[in-house]
A and B are shown apart, each in its own frame.
Chain A
Amino acid sequence: MATASLEQRENRRAWGFVTPALLWTVAFFVIPFIVMAAISLATRKGREIVMAWNFDNYIEFFEKAHLLKGLFVSLEITFTVTIISVILAYPLAWIIAERVPQKWQRMALIMAILPFWTSYVVRSYSWLLVLAQNGVINNTLTYLGVISEPLELASTRTAAVIGFVHFFVMLLTLTIYANLVQMPPNYRRAAADLGANGFQVFWHVVLPLTLPGIMVGAFLTFVLCIGDYITPQILGGNNELALPQVIMLQLGRRADFPMAATLSIILMGVVTLAYIACARWLKMERT
């Protein structure tokens, strides 16, 4: 049999199919990333970018308080959002999986993620409508006579956290729900038969089995939250800037590409650390 030559022919064809996608990824993702990494080692002289091949920008990042603070603001917001979202989403996923009748579950999930499909910009604007000084909450409370002075809700970190949590509760509900429905009911029955009470069943059986869902959702939340510019910009205001806001500031007002690139590489480093921390739960291969 001429298997070898046939295989060779097939292989050549297969390369033809996969090459365009690989080339696209290399040309518009890998190379730009390398260029950006290189630019982060450059300095800015006036309007010119000069390749200096040193780490001055990185040193500057750790020395200048307003740059370093961006990272800490981002980390604080991201951790707060991730924790609140998990706490809110877990019961919701559980109720949908356990209490909502089977035939309505799909509908319930679709409804839960429906606002997810408004554009990011529009969703943050919608929260502005609710939280602004003359927004829905302040107007309603003033009308009811609960408050006389409008509350300072918009342009605060709280507003940014609310906007983020709104988005990520849906995401986490999905990933946790997916885990909950995969769990065979026998596991819980077995635990109960062996004498575990409701809390013990949850703590020793259900929670560990749904941990992958929690971690996958939490990791996605972390990555999307820490890299987002829109929500902190629209809802968080300009009092304390998150890292993506600092990056955009370098680009916009100062046209400082090297520093923007440096900050992006640092942002990516943080995400990579988060990935390493969550890696054992994120292994999802095609079976």
Chain B
Amino acid sequence: MISSRFAKLLSWSYLIALYGFIFLPVAVLVLFSFQDGRLPVPPFNGATLKWYGEVFADSRLMSALGNSLIVAIGSATVACVLGFCAAYALARFVLPASRLQRGLLISPMTVSYLIIALGLLTTFNWIGVSLSLWTVGIGHVVINLPLCFAIIYASMGDHQKNIERAARDLGAAEWQVMTQVSAPMLMPSILAAFFLSVTFSWDEFIIAFLLSRFDVTLPVEIWSMLRSGLNPKTNAVGSVVFLVSVALLLILELIVFRRTAKK
């Protein structure tokens, strides 16, 4: 009995210790974004919203934030549409070499972002495409397309196939089946793919760093802020980024998983 109580105590302390480790940096980041002083380290001098004020007054940061949102939503939309169409074709029709096609669509997942970015950079350099938010967006679609395809493809079960067949028998055209029957049935996984893609693009650094020039996204702007060392303003903008990501996750949890759970 004693040993089982000891084991229980041990496992709970381990749990708490590891959660402490996981949350320590985030807690420090957020706490010292309210620091009333020039250094975001202990001792905590008292709370102020001054640094958040500075973040929102900083036009460079704000335009980077806008750029990030545009790229994230744009690239996630493109990736979702392409991924959905491809998943629809490969799950519902018998196509030659479909294994190979699936492998090809998934393959960018297995390669480091750095290599994807470098490949695109050398290619754009070679054919003379100048770098912009468009090139960043192209790169983000490359990393999000496999994700969207895999999520949506995995959720295309056979029971939906029969409903689609019924719609076709009742005279629906293929595009009607797709947009009015399949897409609504698969909406939870499509939304999951979309929000995951938005978060990945929103947080992504190396592709955005290598493939942008004058207009940059938020992580790249934060990167250049790091040169000034520890600064409560960096804490503040980091906390904002964290908050947005958590908000996206909450939306995902509430809309998508709630709905799947209800079924």
Contact = CB atoms under 8 A, between A and B. Distances in A.
B89 A125 contact: no
A29 B108 contact: yes
Interface residues of B, number: 84
B107 A257 contact: no
B241 interface: yes
B238 A122 contact: yes
Interface in A71-130: 88, 91-92, 95-96, 99-100, 110-112, 114-115, 117-123, 125-130
B249 A117 contact: yes
Consensus secondary structure, chain B interface: helix
Given A15-B95, A92-B15, A136-B28, A223 B22 contact: no
A29 B226 contact: no
Interface in B6-21: 8, 11-12, 14-15, 18-19, 21
B86 interface: yes
B57 to A, nearest CB: 20
B25 A170 contact: no
A28 B110 CA distance: 15
Interface of B: 8, 11-12, 14-15, 18-19, 21-26, 28-29, 32, 39-43, 82-83, 85-86, 88-90, 92-95, 101, 104-105, 107-108, 110-116, 118-123, 125-126, 138-139, 141-142, 145, 149, 153-154, 174, 199, 202-206, 210, 218-219, 222-223, 226, 230, 234-235, 238, 241-242, 245-246, 248-249, 253
Interface of A: 10-11, 13-18, 20-22, 24-26, 28-33, 35-36, 39, 88, 91-92, 95-96, 99-100, 110-112, 114-115, 117-123, 125-130, 132, 134-136, 139-140, 143, 166, 169-170, 223-224, 226-230, 234, 244, 247, 251, 257, 260-261, 264, 267-268, 271, 275, 286
